[in-house]
Amino acid sequence: MKNSIKVLVPTGCIGSGLRLDLFEQALLEKPDVIAMDGGSTDSGPYYLGTGKTKGSAAVLKAELLVYMRARAELGVPLIIGSSGTCGSDAGVDLLRGLCLEVAAELGQNVKIAAIYGEQDAATVTQALADGRVLPLNPVRPIDEALIERCTHIVAAMGVEPFIHALQQGADIIVAGRATDTAVLACLPVMRGAPAGPAWHAGKTMECGAQCTTTPADAMVMAEIDDRGFTITAIGDQARLTPQSVMAHMLYENSNPLLLVEPGGALNVEAATYTALSERSVRVEGSVWEPAERYTVKLEGAAPAGYQSVLLSVVRGPEYIARFDEWLGQLDDVMRKRIEKNLGIGPADYDLQFRAIGKNSALGALEPQVGTPVEIGVLAIATSPDESRTRDILALLNPYMLHFPLPEDEELPTHAFPLSPASMDRGLIYEFALNHVMVVPDPLSPFRFDFTVTGA
Amino acid sequence: MSRSQGYEIRSKSAGPFWLTFDVFCADAETFGRLCGDPHLSAPSMAALFHSDPEQVRIFHMAPLNVIKISLPRPVVQGSVADRDMHGAQWGYVLAEELARAGV
């Protein structure tokens, strides 16, 4: 390895905005790689279920243009992991296509590597039959039928597929689902940096400037060397502290001392954090513990039914005062009507009413009782049959508008804020897998495509 | 929240199947007091969030004065029954439980 390797992470997620002034300042530091993440499961199962991307293609392209221009000027790789929110093959294709457009517009001759990580059901079923699919906690049942139900299954790649692409001369890598950490650790590991500091620097910068005390005014870069890494917050207002760096191990992570990754685990129990200045912290003592078996985490999403929703707002003071009684009766009446008119029972559909302004975010776990002025009643109906879900909404509609208290002779009219009052959400999805797959070779679950532009 | 008692609590999904709470204490004294508090024990947390006490994991991070508690998500993220995709509201339940108990 040369003396040190600088990894610049301009954002926690491509498409979420870029501070151009900070990026230009960061480029003066001459990073050896520009790397960032492009997705997460945070936004829920819909994206993986459909393979779709949350971000706008126009925004992604505008940011890619800035990154690709900078990459070319410095002559360093640009690496993007978990392309298209969920890391589906379609997400990789989206980013790859945008890179090709930008390369053509800039007249760049570049080698673009696309790394695809979707797993077909047959591959995962075979691995299950071989005893190579292992559950993570909390353990959930898995069988062939569940695997078949998944519309998309992705495997999260470690550093090896990135290293393979870099060794083939890739200037730009757009990868499918990858651990956030691997995207940032791959180049230092390839160039011989010690694995502990390389992975730990990656973990620290996985959400960009979140590890600083000034996330709105900072960009982060880590310089990894033989003994550890130095992380620097870039920007005149930017600050970070040993505490803010250490605390990032807590973030969205169930164990703050050990991070399990493909091929091993990052152990930071013995790590030391020392302030070098108000903008940089030195970290040493992080350890990489290689695993006996190489595993990749699987994520899968399966259809959970067709869903429609209807929002009504209840404002009448007597309705607010007796809301629970009113809603209980509405729920009861609706279930009877659904059974009578549609001939289906409780097992055939899911119907929920969320009382917005009362307890919609927490449901039964809400300990507080207040006296709201109004309550939004969000009815959510889900069933395996699209037309059946619409039938339920059609039945609900007049009741959500006019349902009275028992002794009211005159029908009330509650507030419908929208026309049409109901919204069809189409097919919705659920996360179905919490497993890892043992693989014989870190590259074997992944497929590579190399394209040279302008050639 | 609960800043007056010398600590703040946040919760967040840690992947689709886990929920994690970070209790940030203002100083070592508060940290020491909360580390031994039965309201932050595995059985109490499991009872409050309808989870399995065997699965509750508690980390005492003395250098940060942070107590981290992770448990299986009360409902899987984004499932039909889920009400909070990012899991940030459960932190209020814990904070208010501690406040009621005078912790």
Mean pLDDT across chain A, nearest whole number? 96
Per CB-CB distance under 8 Å, the chain A contacts of B83 are 354, 360-363
Mean pLDDT, rounded, for A218-241: 97
- pLDDT at A454 (0 to 100): 87
- pLDDT at A357 (0 to 100): 98
Mean pLDDT, rounded, for A435-445: 97
Mean pLDDT across chain B, nearest whole number? 94
Contact: A428, B14; criterion CB under 8 Å:
no
Closest CB from B14, B78, B97 relative to A252: B14
Centre a 10 Å sphere on the Cβ of residue A80 and count the other Cβ atoms it contains.
Answer: 28
- Shortest Cα distance, chain B CAs vs residue A354, angstroms: 9
Of all helices (H) and strands (E), which one includes residue A275? strand A272-277
Closest CB from B55, B79, B80 relative to A138: B55
Residues of A with a Cβ under 8 Å from any B Cβ are 41-46, 136-138, 140, 243, 246-247, 250-257, 304-305, 307, 350, 352, 354, 360-363, 365-368, 380, 382, 428-431, 434
Per CB-CB distance under 8 Å, the chain A contacts of B57 are 254-255
Render pLDDT for A108-154 as a digit per residue (tens, 0 to 9). 999 999 999 999 999 999 999 999 999 999 999 999 999 999 999 99
Burial of A136 (0-12, 13-18, 19+ CB in 10 A): middle
Helix, coil or strand: residue A54: coil
Per CB-CB distance under 8 Å, the chain B contacts of A306 are none
Render pLDDT for A288-331 as a digit per residue (tens, 0 to 9). 999 999 999 999 999 999 999 999 999 999 999 999 999 999 99
Do A217 and A180 touch, CB atoms closer than 8 A? no
Contact: A434, B85; criterion CB under 8 Å:
no
Burial of A446 (0-12, 13-18, 19+ CB in 10 A): buried
Which band of pLDDT confidence, cut at 50, 70 and 90, is reported for residue A1? low
- pLDDT at B5 (0 to 100): 85
- Shortest Cα distance, chain A CAs vs residue B25, angstroms: 13
Do A218 and A281 touch, CB atoms closer than 8 A? no
Burial of A1 (0-12, 13-18, 19+ CB in 10 A): middle
**A336, two tokens:** 């009877």
Render pLDDT for A349-377 as a digit per residue (tens, 0 to 9). 999 999 999 999 999 999 999 989 999 99
Q: How far is CA A270 from CA A197, A255, A267, B63, in A?
A: 12, 15, 8, 12
Contact: A361, B84; criterion CB under 8 Å:
yes
Burial of B102 (0-12, 13-18, 19+ CB in 10 A): exposed
Asked if omega into A420 is within 30° of 0 (cis), the reply is yes
Q: Which of B52, B80, B84, B92 to mutate to test the interface with A (most CBs of A within 10 A)?
A: B80
**A265, two tokens:** 């685990």
Quote the distance between the C-alpha of residue A117 and its chain's center.
15
ipTM, 2 dp:
0.93
Q: How far is CA A130 from CA A28, A134, A297, A437, A442, in A?
A: 51, 11, 17, 10, 17
Q: Which of B1, B10, B13, B17 to mutate to test the interface with A (most CBs of A within 10 A)?
A: B17
- pLDDT at B2 (0 to 100): 53
Mean pLDDT, rounded, for A207-226: 96
Range with the poorest average pLDDT among A114-128, A328-342, B1-15: B1-15
- pLDDT at A2 (0 to 100): 63
Do A158 and A183 touch, CB atoms closer than 8 A? no
- Shortest Cα distance, chain A CAs vs residue B79, angstroms: 5
- Shortest Cα distance, chain A CAs vs residue B5, angstroms: 20
Of all helices (H) and strands (E), which one includes residue A330? helix A323-342
